[in-house]
Structure 1
Amino acid sequence: MTEEECEAWALYRYRVISPCLDPATTPQTRAAYLGQLGEQPITAPTGHVAPPSERTLRRWLQIYRQGGFAALRPQPRADAGQLRAIPPALWEQAVAFKQEVPERSAEQVLALLRAWAPTAGIPTAAVDGIRRSTLYRHWHRAGWTKRRIRTAAPKRYKRWEAAGPGDLWQSDVMNGPFLPDPTPAQPDRMRATYCLVILDDYSRRIMAGQFAWSADTDLLEALLRQALERWGAPRRFYCDNGQIYVSQRLEGILARLDIRLIHTPAYTPQGKGKQEKLWGFVQSSFLPELRVQPADSLGQLNTWFTAWCEAHYHRRVHRETGEAPLVRWQAGSLHRSVSWEVLHAAFQERCTRTVDKTGQVQWQGHRWIVPEGLLQCRVELRWDPHAPETIDVWYENQCYGQAGAADQAAPVLEATPAPKPAMGPGLSYLTILARQREARHQGGIDWAARPPERTDDV
């Protein structure tokens, strides 16, 4: 029982007997009060509504007169924490079985004890009297739980990095700043943003990154495709066990591109040190500048983040590697170039349909005409999620062409142009970086001749 619980019980008992502590109270009045109080429902600190008996009330009065308020506190048992229901020999053997295989449950240990007890001259009835909850309680109190046994000896970790640029990419999500909600229904509402980044392990270069209203699989696929189209395919992709990283679709995309997907083992965040260090630098270098000139829209926030990455982060010397991420990336690369056809096929979504007698299939509530020669065949439809109006028809690993819409209401993807961010008035570091990035793309700044800046590492 904790200190707060003991104090609550003492106050509860004192509150009940306090009317009887008045010296002016006569014995007859005190006896009548105790008799009536034993019949009234009173809520105890545990939440139970149960009236204390008259004998209990008189005992509380007696111990208060002898020891004062401190005597009303619950006293610990003299044998608290000691084994009473488990014989010492059985307890020692139960701990040995648990240490041998920490994953063993109480039911398994009890079964082993029943088999071991006759060999030690202990009747099996002694094992049958042990409850699983009792075993779990004593294990927890003694520190023999599965997690504590595994972490009893501290595990050693060592610093590591990929063999070269493009060998390993990492990805993670960070909570971003709050921005005005763009929906017209709630113009004054502030909405949370999320930042998803793909980081090259060797060079620490940000291959792709963006703020969005939600960190879902669509955002991950868009950034992954953008990075693959621009920089090629890495050999491995390292991420945690978040919902967007354990999807079957991501696993299929990486498998078609011959990229090995690696997840961080559970309860071992030490392997994400580079990514967490990057988030720390974003929170200390990029996000504070938003207090000087807040972003009015998601497009403006992403414009400033891109300028910060290209004009500041990629060109500053990393204290751990001794080189700027851009210089370290250009030193050499292990990535593989991917053709547009292979990349397009890897990101296509797929489903199977049976062609009816009219040579049509139904998909998303609409009917589509498939090429000839596939009547009543089980075909596979493949389409780009960003262009669902173009559907490829595959049968036995061969493309037979594209399906045509049989009705006029076929789904067509409407392209929504991204809002063009506007630079607000005033002077801010992010504005300077955005102007430098724009001038660099126009050839106004020779970044190759400019030495990288040395600041804190990531």
Structure 2
Amino acid sequence: MTVLRPHLEHGVPLTRAAAAGGVSVRTARRWLAAYRAGGPAALARRPRSDRGTRTLPSECVELVEGLALRRPQPSTAHIHRTVTTIAAQRGWPAPSYETVRTIVGGLDPGLATLAHQGVAAYRDRFELVYRREAARPNEVWQADHTELDLMILDAAGTPVRPWLTTILDDRSRAVAGYTVFLGDPSALQTALALRQAIWRKTDPRWAVCGLPDVLYSDHGADFTSAHLDQVCADTRIRLVHSTPGVPQGRGKVERLFGTVTTELLPRLPGHIPHGTHGKPVTAPTLTLAELDAAIGEYILDTYHRREHSETGVPPQQRWLADGWLPRMPDSLEQLDLLLLTVARPRVVHRDGIHCHGLRYLDLTLSAYVGERVTVRYDPRDLAEIRLYYRDQFLCRAVCAELADATISLKDLQRARTRRRRELRGTLTSRRSLADALTTTGTGPIPDTAPLTPRDRSAADPDHDQPAPQRPRRRLKTYRED
């Protein structure tokens, strides 16, 4: 059109327009005839009829693809050299380097990913994902653990990385329960988080509670324990495990972990940004209790009240949307089975129950003195224990020393260790003093106790010893026939 436009719009002779455009008059006339016959579309360049086809034999193309799909992935130059050698042996036309590169670049990306990176990478990049969402609150809860990108101080003042266990409602994205702890995830931490999620909260800002229909988790040892299976069966909760190695199935709770990591943790001291090889950029100062309080405030004041980017509704409001009543357990005692995976048997003494060096008493125990009962307790609060007799709840027993205070099992263990060290130090100093005082310059102080005859004979060989007594003959007895 650049050549023909002066002729069509301004009446410039075709010969002059062709000369100005640098084409021959014959070509300009052919373009003009095509334009008048089919319009501007007739002037478009037609693609080659053999475009996309190769003159190479199909076996040669498959050879290039097979070499390119090997693991580890070979270079294009290596593939070209190998194919050229084989083509000469088979009598095929030798492909050029550009042809080999085009064949390798035209491989299906999914096929190349499966060949070079494995099934997991192919699944994560190319397989279709079924996104399921619960139809109502408490239909499905998701549970998972994560190690926080944060350093805090433990009881000894040592920097450690804590863990977070969270239980999330699938429908509303509201947090039903959580727990922060040190050490590896365990069934105890899962039980504590689930117990908090199910029972009514004391904070009026946190309305999420009730029993879910389905608890969706991974294949961790704490989620696959026989104890959790029994608890879910007793409370009519269906326990479902995700496919091993596929975190996409728990995408909602994983997204919550990402939100906490990117929004809350950078504001706390001891944060560990990505790429710092596990080193915090600020000095850690928080304790476990302070971190627990910070996460709780963030969930209740920020996360639950803010509009969720996917649902468009704040999680707390979405959970309370229809004013429904959640399904609750019969009593709190039924949930106490979640506190420990192993029950502790104890005998009822006249002064009560002895557990962890503490004494617990309740008037109900007066009728069970001498009987064996099962003790269950919250390890975060040893002021009260729950007693079961023949698998039936009996009573709550209270420790009088801790009735007005809350002491954890770790606090009690630290106090015991500190007292034991004090006693050992005292014992060592007393023994050292006794050894020093009972030793003279030349030897130990002689014993002032009276000597026995054997000691006197050992000390003085010339000492007269009494004559040894003759042994008395034994009376002989005879067996009569």
- Structure 1 length-normalised TM: 0.47
- Structure 2 length-normalised TM: 0.45
